[in-house]
Structure 1
């Protein structure tokens, strides 16, 4: 099944990495959710992308500078729209409580060091290991995960697929390579698949790039607008070609 992964939730329509965005992604046909994992000062695993709080909350500084009891008081919705005023940040455990029993795939991007063990503990506590692919731009994060868990699915976020990158992933026992949509070619996808890897694109920020990665033959992509991808996949399944 093609992976239609709501990128930080349906982040074109609701504030990213909030319950509102995650639920909207599922409502729009996503069969998976992509999100970002960081640690708070007191070691709580939270879902947050940026290095600092300024862009998407009314806070400032790094999430790791605050305990969760402080972070939960922040407004994570007003920056996006007054309609989402008061939307809160989300812990990974809270996310699993809401979505762990659903038939969804979870692409978990590690944004901090030392988050690996706490993430894995929650994955096993909520028994979702078969639904998860752990990803990162940092190869060191992936090495740390693999040392702790020899079976969990791993994917590396990279700019461009090449033989050297695939060699490293094969040695690590990774299952997935995650290239930039903008730089992707059908030849890249064919190379990765010939080596036994899934190919999941990132950065498909426009409908044109969405169509490009589909034409390249990827197995899935993160997407800010899962409704448009759902519509396109339905068109392809029924042989239609009308624009989204």
Structure 2
């Protein structure tokens, strides 16, 4: 049962294999890679002493046995806490990662631990230290394997201006513009390239279907890839593969990997 495009759909592990290990930690990232992930989707914040650390929320309460704002804590202070403390895969019956030494990761540690893996990195703060982020990528020789994402257009614009080589996703405003034009029947002009390389969008939003074949075709005519988040249902994964998307962000890389392997038979 071979489906066109099945081989080229990338698996982007959402915070690692986050259904089976503590999100945004080394165990989750290692598991995602073992399950076939092509890229790790993750998030960064800055500590009080300006270390770039990996965490989705601006507070550590939900993912560790500590409490507080990352921006108000030093990196050394964050190392005191157990970032596997709250993970449970069975509704709270067991907490298999408690006391196993799972600590907060720095961006540099993650890049070094997975030198052949692409990272899709969301800069979470409204006013991040873009220069420090770019310096870290350059010093770790990682510019070529990072896609920068942000919900803040200004952040993306600054990063593009500072480092035109860096691959970025579209901002929400840029995505909205493409959606509006596609729905109005617009077709991209040949040779006109946008400032971003990927449209990273949800499959559906507010009851509306975002990703359609027309949307994917328009993106490809612009020379832009389409990555869809966050999809864990095999039926939705299959529908997206058939529409020709380039990547699927998922909490369960092994489910998507199994589907893609079946489609290649």
Q: Give me the TM-score of the superposition, normalised by structure 2.
A: 0.82
Q: Would you say the 8 A contact 1:178–1:200 is kept in 2?
A: yes
1:163 and 1:121 map into 2 onto residues whose CA distance is 36
* Larger relative contact order (Cα-Cα within 8 Å, sequence gap ≥ 6): 2
1:114 and 1:11 map into 2 onto residues whose CA distance is 25
1:181 aligns with 2:203: yes
| Alpha-carbon shift at residue 54 of structure 1 (Å) | 1.4
1:171 and 1:67 map into 2 onto residues whose CA distance is 41
1:11 and 1:149 map into 2 onto residues whose CA distance is 31
Q: Partner of 2:164 in structure 1?
A: 150
| Alpha-carbon shift at residue 128 of structure 1 (Å) | 1.6
Q: Give me the TM-score of the superposition, normalised by structure 1.
A: 0.89
Q: Give unpaired runs (5+ residues) of structure 2.
A: 1-7, 89-94
| Alpha-carbon shift at residue 157 of structure 1 (Å) | 5.5
The alignment partner of 2:202 has SS state of coil
1:171 and 1:41 map into 2 onto residues whose CA distance is 38
| Alpha-carbon shift at residue 209 of structure 1 (Å) | 2.8
1:1-244 to structure 2, matched below 5 A, reads 1-81=8-88, 82-85=95-98, 86-99=101-114, 101-102=115-116, 104-112=117-125, 113-156=127-170, 158=172, 161-163=178-180, 173-182=195-204, 183=209, 184-238=211-265
> Number of residues paired by the alignment?
234
CA pair 63-172 structure 1, distance change in 2 beyond 3 A: farther
1:144 and 1:163 map into 2 onto residues whose CA distance is 25
Q: How large is the RMSD of aligned CA atoms in angstroms?
A: 2.1
CA pair 157-228 structure 1, distance change in 2 beyond 3 A: farther
1:115 and 1:13 map into 2 onto residues whose CA distance is 32
Which structure's CA Rg is the greater one?
Answer: 2
Q: Would you say the 8 A contact 2:199–2:224 is kept in 1?
A: yes
1:214 and 1:75 map into 2 onto residues whose CA distance is 38
2:69 and 2:166 map into 1 onto residues whose CA distance is 29
The alignment partner of 2:147 has SS state of strand
The alignment partner of 1:143 has SS state of helix
1:140 and 1:11 map into 2 onto residues whose CA distance is 29
